Structures are given as structure tokens and as C-alpha cells.
Structure 1
Amino acid sequence: MSPSASSTVSSWLLVLLCAVSGAYCLRQVRRAGGGAAGDAVMGFGMALMAVPLRSTGGWQDPALAVLFCGAALHAVWLLRGGAHHAHHLVGSLTMVYMSLTAVSGHGHGAGLPLLTGLLLLYYAGYAVLGGARLVTAGGTVAPRQAGGPDGGSGSGSGELTRACRLAMGIGMLAMLLTM
């Protein structure tokens, strides 16, 4: 398989992973309230951003930047309820950064190296910590209440919610690596 074909397959796998995570979070919003709404927006937005057939310089990247600016404002609003919403703010601002980078530099290598490096460290740490928490939980953690920070519905879905968030964190790491 050629490098460009491999890259396209990887992009479509990332689209699928993010879309499935977004759909699961949307399902949680419908079942348990608005706790997972930010995760759903992030999952679907990441899926849109990862689509390999988008044209550079088109309307998609500015539209995604506006969408994620709105998500960042929503995350700032949610910070009133506790610091556990800070990750949503970081994620939304990261997506704004990647969208604006795509608009201004038409893709690869156009980001600020220091900022990109810091974000890579953040998401690498998030992935390692999230993976460790998911593995060590092993079903022994009591499910969260509906609408809680994990978006659990009280029926044992907390681990699946954490897995979706971990998948999106790894997806974010992969997207940053392509900058």
C-alpha cells in the first residue's frame, strides 16, 4: 500500500472512531441529560475535521473554527460547575487552533511548534492516564450518577464513556501529529 493510500485509510479510521464516539455521547445526552453534549460535539467535529476529502482553503475549516469557538465558550460556562470541564475547554481550543492553522497555512507544518508540542504532551498524558484508569478500573468502579462528570447513566456505562473519551483523546493526538 502506498504512503498516501495508507494515510487515507488512517484518516477514514479516525473519522469512524470519532463519529462512533460522538454518536455514543449523543445517545448518552438523550438518555441521561446534557452531561455528554460537549463530548458529542467534540466527537462529530473531530470526525468532520479528519475527513480526507475536504478541500483546503474551503469553507469547512472556518466553519469548524466557529463551531469550536462556541464549544469553548460553552466549556467556559460549564467551568462554573467544577474544574472537570477544563478538558472540554482545552479540547475545544485545540480544535480552534487546528482549524485556524488549516485555514492560514493550508495544512502540514503550519502550526506554532511550541504550542503544538505542548498540546501533544497534554494529549499524550491524557491518553496514558485515561488508559491506565480504564485498565485499572476493571469494572470495580461504581457507575456515576446520571449527568455526572463521566456522563454515566447509572447502568454501568461509565467505563464505555471513559473509553470513548480516551478514543477521542488519542484521535486528537493523532490529528496533532499530522500538523
Structure 2
Amino acid sequence: MHGPVSAAWLLVALCAATGSYCLLRMRSAVEEQRRAAGGEALMGFGMAAMAVPAAVFTPPGWAWPLYAAVFGAAALRALWSARSGPHHLHHLVGTAAMIYMSLAMTASPAAHHHGHSGAGVPLVTGTLLLYFTGYVLLSGARLVPAAATAGRTVPVRWGDRPELARACRLSMGIGMVAMLLTL
């Protein structure tokens, strides 16, 4: 992604930490939590890899289509999971955004800072920005009441804490907004 190097490194750190926590969540005793955590770990690490500043590492030309293929497979899995409930649709939108950004990076040379040549924000980018901005605002609002459940008496494992899972999703949403802004 293109943008300030310091912001890119912060995004790499945020996404890698989120992906790492999602790997921890994959050890949950709750099957649905494990499934969601696997997809979220892929998103976190994929976003971290995409956010590495181009000044430090420019991936070879074949890497972006490979990213698109990996997230295409993840999108098919999310589409299959969406039949069990609408809460999986967010994963589908997230993987579609990753495919879109991968394809935009394929078409954009490393020195080019905007894939749209200054002609305004492309419709797909704008739509994804609106979606993820709304998602971040809604997730942030849902995170606030989760702190009220901190007085529970049953010890909960780190991978099963709902407020941490929400914070994980919130941070990935913020990361997605940042990546879309620099596209």
C-alpha cells in the first residue's frame, strides 16, 4: 500500500497483532469461534503483509495475483458459510475488499500513488470505505457495553473473551479503512 512509512508500520503491527490474537482464538472450545478466528487470522496477516511499506519491500509482480487467489478462496469459504447466517457476510465483504486491493496493486506500479490518477475516489473504493467506516462505528459502539460484563465470576480463557474478539474485529476494520484510504 502507498502512504506514509510510519503509518504503514503501525498498520503492519496492528494487523499482525490482531492476526496473532486470532490464532490464539482458534484454540477456543467453541467451534463457531474457531471457524471465525481462522478467517480473521488470515485477514489480519494478509493485511499486515499488504501494508509493508513499498520503500522497504516491493513484492514481485506475481505476489498480488497470488494474494487475490488466496482471498478468492477465502471469499468462497465465506460465501459457503453465509448460508448459515448473515453474520458471515462481513467476512465475504472483507475478503472481497482484499481481492479488490490486490487487483488494484497488480494494476498500479509501485511509484504510482493513486490507482485512479486523481480523478476522484473510484466507486468500489468509496463503497468499501463507507461500509468499513460504518462497520468501525458500529463495532466501536458495541464494544463499549462489553466492558460492563467484566465482573463475571467464571474465568474465561483468552481465546474465548467476546470483548477481545470484538476489539480484534474493530482493529481490522480500522486497518481496512486505512488501507482503502491509501489505495
Whether TM exceeds 0.5 here: the answer is: yes
**Cα-to-partner distance string for 1:76-133 (whole Å, 9 max, x where unaligned):** 1111211100000000000000000000123532157111111111111111111111
Q: Determine whether 1:21 maps to 2:25.
A: no
Distance 2:5 2:36 in 1: 33
**Cα-to-partner distance string for 1:10-46 (whole Å, 9 max, x where unaligned):** 1011011001101111111123333311111100100
Return the TM-score normalized by structure 1. Answer: 0.84
Figure out how many residues of one structure are paired with residues of the other and give that number: 167
Structure 2 portions without partners, runs of 5+: none
Match of 1:119 among 120, 123, 128: 128
Paired residue type of 2:167:
A
Distance 2:100 2:160 in 1: 35
Query: Which residue does the alignment assign to 1:38?
Result: 39
Percent identity (aligned): 51
Alpha-carbon contact 1:57-1:103 (below 8 Å) kept: no
Q: Which has the higher relative contact order, 1 or 2, with Cα contacts under 8 A spaced 6 or more apart?
A: 2
Residue pairs, 1:1-179, within 5 angstroms? 7-32=4-29, 33-52=34-53, 53-55=56-58, 58-106=61-109, 108-110=113-115, 113-140=122-149, 157-179=161-183
- Of stretches 8-17 and 32-41 in structure 1, the one that deviates more from structure 2 is 32-41
Distance 2:57 2:65 in 1: 12
Paired residue type of 2:39:
G
Return the TM-score normalized by structure 2. Answer: 0.82
